[in-house]
Structure 1
């Protein structure tokens, strides 16, 4: 075989390789373009969350920087989309006071939320002898003595969107639910005695960011 024939063969091979790469790039571009068009037409909306109630079992500041708390909350999540489902792959909830986490994170089991579906979760958020900032202890004790304290219950995790058979990659979801928690030996207005605990109806809207 002559040198000229070998060179011609290599050129044809390079040309086929370039054509294959170009075809693959065009195919990927068309797929991504289709996904973007579908996404724009469907206009996905964020799920909505509502903090319905909180049951106080324990909330005790035993030292300036030590807190023990056990609170059961009821949170409702709704998917407002009529053509898009939501996979909650991972979701954890905990309580914070002035930006500091004061309970452990409680995991909520993974679940799929269909079109217009609603889910209700009632996790316990708790922490035994949790160290907090030293100046938070007196603040919490004073707020408790005054009748109540503002807490923020957070839900953080990852979700995926489902459109037909298409499932997207994971997105971070951050939910913030502010709540005023009353305290006292006897139930305050809106409180219901439940065994050795007091349940308060809150019905507080939550902020959702993705």
Structure 2
């Protein structure tokens, strides 16, 4: 027993092999393996970075080539459309419709092959005449072709009832017509030709009381679509 005012002090003992904490030591082979894994990982990442860079560059080049070779559809612009007989008291008997449209190939390196082209004039979505206007031809890149013609006689199928409708609209200030151009086209890219596409160009025009196309429609672009 210790006195009450004495605090016992525990004197440490020398650690034995049993309670001593052992430190694990790695072999040289272990550290060489770790270094080898680190180098392999770095090389793999470097190779992956190079491959991704090549793919990215190839994608950009392919996209640029696609944009340069992607054909743009031809553009059509109405330049002139007239039915002078509207201004004449008895114009029905000698009615004659004239038109002038510009077809423009805006591609830099792509030509356009046209098969036969036909034109049809419409009033109130009803055909009032038509005719073929062009034989097969090839349009060079960055080139324009003028398409013009006349519908008269048997090619202008307007009866007396339809003519009276024209005059009723003329009394209101204008007569609305639509000129449709239809052809089958192919694109020529270097030595390769595309498949055929059925093309439609629709030109909306308004004719005044004098039978001439209104100035606001001169040079108006005609919507174009394929079927």
Bigger fraction of residues in strand: 1
Q: Distance in 2 between matches of 1:70 and 1:104?
A: 12
How big is the shift at 1:51? 0.3
Query: Unpaired runs of 5+ in structure 2?
Result: 1-64
Q: Which moved more, 1:53-62 or 1:100-109?
A: 53-62
Q: Distance in 2 between matches of 1:147 and 1:69?
A: 19
Q: Distance in 1 between matches of 2:89 and 2:192?
A: 49
Q: 1:49 aligns with which of 76, 82, 99?
A: 76
Q: Distance in 1 between matches of 2:206 and 2:163?
A: 18
Q: Tell me what 2:131 maps to.
A: 105
Q: Distance in 2 between matches of 1:46 and 1:188?
A: 26
- Does residue 104 of structure 2 align to residue 88 of structure 1? no
Superposed CA deviations along residues 120-153 of structure 1, whole A, max 9, x for unmatched, are 122113354726696x554322012333301001
Q: Which moved more, 1:150-159 or 1:108-117?
A: 108-117
**Aligned with 2:99: secondary structure?**
strand
Q: What is the Cα-based RMSD across aligned positions, in Å?
A: 3.4
- Does residue 74 of structure 2 align to residue 58 of structure 1? no
The structure-2 alpha-carbon separation of the partners of 1:48 and 1:61, relative to structure 1 and needing over 3 Å to count, comes to farther
Superposed CA deviations along residues 155-179 of structure 1, whole A, max 9, x for unmatched, are 0111111111112232100000000
Which one has the largest radius of gyration?
A: 2
Bigger fraction of residues in helix: 2
Q: Which has the higher contact order (CA 8 A, sep 6+)?
A: 1
The structure-2 alpha-carbon separation of the partners of 1:126 and 1:175, relative to structure 1 and needing over 3 Å to count, comes to farther
- Does residue 223 of structure 2 align to residue 207 of structure 1? yes
Q: Distance in 1 between matches of 2:99 and 2:110?
A: 27
Q: Distance in 2 between matches of 1:123 and 1:189?
A: 19
Q: Tell me what 1:75 maps to.
A: 101
Query: Unpaired runs of 5+ in structure 1?
Result: 1-37, 191-199
Calculate the TM-score normalised by the size of structure 1.
0.63
Contact 1:67 / 1:102 at 8 angstroms: preserved in 2? no
Superposed CA deviations along residues 28-77 of structure 1, whole A, max 9, x for unmatched, are xxxxxxxxxx7676111111100011243435998xxx997422211111
How big is the shift at 1:205? 1.4
